[in-house]
Amino acid sequence: MLVRVAALRQVGPLDEGYFMYAEEVDWCRRFARAGWRVVCVPAATVMHHGGAASGQFRARSWSILWRSRRRYLRLHEPAWRADVVDLLLKVAFARLRRADERALAAGTLSGSEALERRTAYAAALGPTDDAPPQMDAPPLGDS
């Protein structure tokens, strides 16, 4: 991203409350709200080193992605909209947990993968503050 110094001084740096993901979207929205023009250049190319920042632990990066999205909504949308998204995510993750339990029972999902997914679902719904998500495993019998 290229940012004018005057814009940076007015809007401030990237929000450190995002551990990863959505911080640049938040920043662009803050620039636009402050009256700065935000431009996307589709012809620009970037070499991405295939998940170099997040590829080391898939469940952790998945939960961070969802927490960042939820944080963005909490900061930029009406509270009721963020609450609706949280409710929809709870329903979706409950359905995913049930599907994982069926796959575990059928032998098409390993116990460790089921636990990793269950942990990610719980972490994704955790607080949207500036702390990196903790990946403590919830008990397997709880929903």
Q: What is the pLDDT of residue 55?
A: 44
Q: What is the pLDDT of residue 139?
A: 45
- Measured between alpha carbons, how far is 7 from 74 in angstroms, rounded to an integer? 24
Q: What is the pLDDT of residue 140?
A: 43
What is the C-alpha R_g of the chain? 18
Q: How far is CA 67 from the centre of its chain?
A: 4
Q: What is the pLDDT of residue 1?
A: 84
Q: In this structure, are residues 109 and 100 in contact, taking their beta carbons and an 8 Å threshold?
A: yes
Q: What is the pLDDT of residue 119?
A: 92
Give 68-105 pLDDT, tens digit per residue. 999 999 999 999 999 999 999 999 999 999 999 999 99
**Closest of 137, 94, 132, 92 to residue 112, by C-alpha:** 137
The parts of the chain modelled with pLDDT lower than 50 are 54-56, 131-143
Q: What is the pLDDT of residue 83?
A: 94
Instruction: Tell me the DSSP string of 4-25.
Output: -HHHHHHH-S--TT-SSSSHHH
